[in-house]
Structure 1
């Protein structure tokens, strides 16, 4: 079994914000895989399906970003999933809008959602797809990540969400290395 988690914040006021690119990517991936988000479990909205004969759980934690680890830990413990079968998709201010980066693990990079997950799982070796949102010029970090994309950034980010969904599908079917080889360094710019 594999679990893919898209990070974001619940509620319509956050739907189009920078911090919700993980949710946006998961919605697109679910559409591509013909999986519906039909139930609530593990403090999340979840969709279940099969890809290549393997069970897949797509999760959008409803705990708010900074408490994402609680939801992820609950699902990992319930299904007894190895951390190598877990993928997290989220926003990254250190990447410019339009860029994605795939990694097999690493630090939280200052991202509170990833920090929560690492803390709850007691491990940093969790595969991730990071979607660039850029850094704020004038706003505080909190205000910046909770703002919608301006049109010029959205024109760059939308294709990167599509690439991130494709990369997640490659991860599901072939693993982290092929996903990294095909999608790292790709930019919509």
Structure 2
């Protein structure tokens, strides 16, 4: 059993926003693999599907972005999942629109949803041997070591090995990537007081052991606030780039279920966006773009 978790904010106000691109990927997976009806459980909407005999949960936290870790923790505790059995998909401001990146771990990179998950997993690891054991399995799988030992740094992982401070809580007092949750530098505060507003602005150097797929949404235009940008709706021009990334992220998520994070990284990181026909967008009654029907990029122009 595995879980693919798409980060986003619940409700029609946020349905079409850049911050909810993880949910777009879940839409594609649900359609491809004929997912069952969603049910509300563990602070999330959860749908079940089967990929090559493997039961997979599609999880949409309903806690708002800043509290995503609460939903992920509840899922792990109730269903007995390890950190090597979850995949998180989310938007990335620092990745060009149309690109994806698969990682076995990493820092929050300014994303409060990821920071929340890191914090909750770190707390779990202090008291739950199963979480520490699954973290070791994840590192071993990245290094290609079936024996389960914690590996030395692997060249597959950009920026060094996927260090897991939560595996050894006593070491969490230090600084740097091998220490505990590093000092959080918050640059902005929520506009409305809800948890959804600051998913793109926290800062942490902590690395935690869970696989993720980043979907690039690009940087905001000059003069636009980052929060305003991520909470803005996709335009048709945006979708001509991002919809291709959504489709490839769904491909990568499927490969993760089948073959694990190491193979998925090698297959999908650094690949060029494919050429193709313009995407077919889905609009609501008011004409606002709310999703994608066919995820392909427009024809390449040299």
In 2, the alpha carbon distance for the partners of 1:70 and 1:45 equals: 13
1:42-121 to 2 correspondences below 5 Å: 42-121=42-121
Mark the runs of 5 or more structure 2 residues left unpaired by the alignment: 123-165, 167-207, 274-299
In 2, the alpha carbon distance for the partners of 1:65 and 1:144 equals: 15
1:73 and 1:121 in contact (8 A); partners too: yes
Instruction: Determine whether 1:165 maps to 2:250.
Output: yes
Instruction: Give how far 1:61 is off.
Output: 0.5
In 2, the alpha carbon distance for the partners of 1:37 and 1:26 equals: 13
In 2, the alpha carbon distance for the partners of 1:59 and 1:11 equals: 15
1:133-144 to 2 correspondences below 5 Å: 133-137=217-221, 138-144=223-229
1:160 and 1:187 in contact (8 A); partners too: no
2:47 and 2:59 in contact (8 A); partners too: yes
1:37 and 1:45 in contact (8 A); partners too: no
In 2, the alpha carbon distance for the partners of 1:184 and 1:49 equals: 26
* Structure 2 length-normalised TM: 0.61
In 1, the alpha carbon distance for the partners of 2:248 and 2:260 equals: 16
Instruction: Give how far 1:135 is off.
Output: 1.2
Instruction: Determine whether 1:125 maps to 2:209.
Output: yes
2:25 and 2:250 in contact (8 A); partners too: yes
* Structure 1 length-normalised TM: 0.96
Deviations 1:117-140 (A, max 9, x none): 010111511100000011112211
Kindly report structure 1 stretches of 4+ aligned residues shifted beyond 4 Å. none
| 1:154 equivalent in structure 2 | 239
Mark the runs of 5 or more structure 1 residues left unpaired by the alignment: none
Larger % of strand: which? Answer: 1
Larger radius of gyration: 2
1:100 and 1:187 in contact (8 A); partners too: no
In 1, the alpha carbon distance for the partners of 2:271 and 2:43 equals: 33
Larger % of helix: which? Answer: 1
In structure 2, the CA distance between the partners of 1:37 and 1:89, relative to structure 1 (3 Å rule), is: farther
| 2:262 equivalent in structure 1 | 177
2:30 and 2:49 in contact (8 A); partners too: no
Q: For residue 78 of structure 1, give the secondary structure of its aligned residue in structure 2.
A: helix
Instruction: Give how far 1:187 is off.
Output: 4.0
Structural RMSD (CA): 1.2
Mean CA deviation greater in 135-144 or 68-77: 135-144
Instruction: Give how far 1:34 is off.
Output: 1.1
Mean CA deviation greater in 34-43 or 93-102: 34-43
